[in-house]
Amino acid sequence: MRASLTKSGAAESTTGKIQMQKSSNQTDVGAPRWSGLRLALLAFAQFIIAIDYNIVYVALPDIGRDVGFTSQSLQWVVSAYAVAFGGFLLLGGRAADRLGPRRMFILALVLYGVSSLAGGFAPDALTLVVARAVQGLGGALLFPATLALINTSFAEGAERNRALAVWGATGSGGLAAGAIIGGVLTNGWGWQAVFFFTVPLALGAALIAAPVLLAPDPAGEGQRRSFDLPGALVVTAAATLLVFGLASGPEVGWNTVRSTGSLVIGVLLLCVFILIERRVRDPLAPLRLFANRSLVTATAVSFFHHMALSSGYYILTTYFQNLLGYNALAAGLAFVPLGVLAMIGGGKGAGLLLTKWGTRATMFAGMLIYGIGLVAIALALSPGGSYWAVLPGILIYGFGGGIAFTTLFVAAASGVAANEQGVASALGSTSLQIGAALGLAAALVVANVGLGGEAATTSDVVDGLRMAGLFAAAAVFLGAVLALMIKQNPGIAQDAATSAEAVR
């Protein structure tokens, strides 16, 4: 009997070792050097996404003059990216799960490179908007693939938190670099250069680094092509119409078919999507994911986080360039402190707080600080003001936003199976993009309430921007309250403690 048990135990041990070795071969987690280089590549992909979101902001006045946008239609240089990004994210997430995250990672970067080249050569407004939309599609494929690769390459807990802190800090750095680089390029070589800049970054990462550093997708993953095609088409149309309707409101009015009609149809299609997912054998977004309280809460908080992000950048860009008279280069440099603090908050700040407090308290603290920064910015705006008056608010805003951003994806990945990490990250990312579109639309509406067109005084403009900032801050505080609903993992502090030194 004893011999039988010993033999059985040895067999189980051997089986376990084989399984562990197989897992190690798939992800190569046992090789620290390659693991570090892989994380650097995945963080660099987030850097590209962040740059493409932000690099065009300081170039908008030049783009408007040269390409022929109106003051209202100019937002589509930003919104076309958000519409495509938000509309295709769930499809991108499921594609990463079904076709393999490495394949989608490379495809998405190629799309980024080609569309950026097309944007730089765009002769008219329509071509530029289409190029930005294709960039958004690239982002919708790249974002969930990158997160899926992180979440399946690093064990849940301290190791994954550390990887996501690096990823989040790099994304924050991309936002800062986007503003700076956008200003330098626009000032020196024209707005076209902000598009050409991305081409070598994306194609180099896709064609040179990714094939070397990313392990091939598991055998047979590329043949698992069982897509929920009806669900994919319906949810893509729904998300696209929702973001399109939100982005259209400030330009054509909220009582139009283009705006309200798109929103209504988008909501109806979301209801149809839920019905499809309840009945289909292999759903695009398994409804059981919505039983994960951390994922659902992180998705909701993501919405308010990016409402504040797009609102804040619009308010500050308008203030710097239209009221303080900064050119593109000066405006880009003005965003440097924001980006630096966002990097610190998203990296060391989030890592240390996750170690000491866990997910729920860290997210609440990050959102609270984020909102306080927005209030400080709004109250510091004045017709005869200066950059130094708004700088304290900018620093607080950047630090809190960085903490919250990293923590959102720690929460969204918690308790999700490896083969559903792509769609889980896509749910949170979709919420980010819809929140960004609504935040920009709301900022435009609130900031322009009561303005008398060309006759508006500087004081009126500042009042509008201040109200937009306070509105966005209220949304962030609501997100902070929602963050308290996250299911706290009582062991997270102990798990994270093992990597506290590495985080520091």
Residues 76-106: pLDDT tens digits? 787 788 778 877 887 887 788 778 888 889 9
CA angle 201, 205, 208 (to 5 degrees): 125
Distance CA 90, CA 71 (A): 32
**How large is the average pLDDT for residues 317-336?**
84
Q: How far apart are CA 467 and CA 375, in angstroms?
A: 10
**Contact yes or no for 343/176 (Cβ under 8 A):** yes
pLDDT at 416: 66
pLDDT score at 463: 87
Q: Which of 74-83, 171-180, 449-458 has the lowest mean pLDDT?
A: 449-458
Q: What is the spatial distance between Cα 386 and Cα 403, in angstroms, rounded to a whole number?
A: 27
Work out the pLDDT band at 499, boundaries 50, 70, 90.
very low
Structure confidence by residue, pLDDT tens digits, 238-267 = 877 887 787 777 677 778 888 889 889 989
* 286: region left, alpha or beta (phi > 0 left; psi from -120 to 50 alpha): beta
Tokens coding 320: 């710097």
CA nearest neighbour of 297 among 485, 489, 93: 485
Q: What is the pLDDT of residues 1-20, one digit of tens each?
A: 444 444 444 444 444 443 43
The residue among 486 and 176 whose pLDDT is bigger is 486
Q: For tokens 């944007």, name the residue.
A: 119
For the chain, helix (H) and strand (E) counts, in that order, are 22, 0
* 3-class secondary structure per residue, 361-396: HHHHHHHHHHHHHHHHHHHHCCCCCCHHHHHHHHHH
Of 155-159, 375-379, 384-388, least confident by mean pLDDT is: 155-159
Question: What is the three-class DSSP state of 350?
Answer: helix
Task: Tell me what the pLDDT averaged over the chain comes to.
Answer: 78
Among 163-177, 185-199, 397-411, which stretch is predicted with the lowest mean pLDDT?
A: 163-177
pTM of the model: 0.72
- Over 90: is that where the pLDDT of 268 sits? yes
What CA–CA distance (Å, rounded) separates 239 from 67? 28
**SS3 of 203-225:** HHHHHHHHHHHCCCCCCCHHHCC
Report, as an integer, the average pLDDT of 217-225.
56
> How would residue 273 be classed by pLDDT, with cut points 50, 70 and 90?
confident
Q: In the predicted model, what is the mean pLDDT of residues 330-359? A: 84
Q: Is the pLDDT of residue 454 over 60?
A: no
Say how far apart CA 34 and CA 28 lie, in whole Å. 7
Tokens of 462: 């500042």
Quick one: pLDDT at residue 394? Answer: 94
Residues 402 and 168: beta-carbon distance below 8 Å = yes
CB 297 within 8 A of CB 413: no
Q: What is the largest CA-CA distance in the chain?
A: 95
Task: Tell me what pLDDT residue 117 has.
Answer: 92
Helix axes 350-357, 387-413, angle to 10 degrees: 50
Within 13 Å of residue 133, how many CA atoms lie on the same side as its CB? 14
**pLDDT at residue 61 in the model:** 79
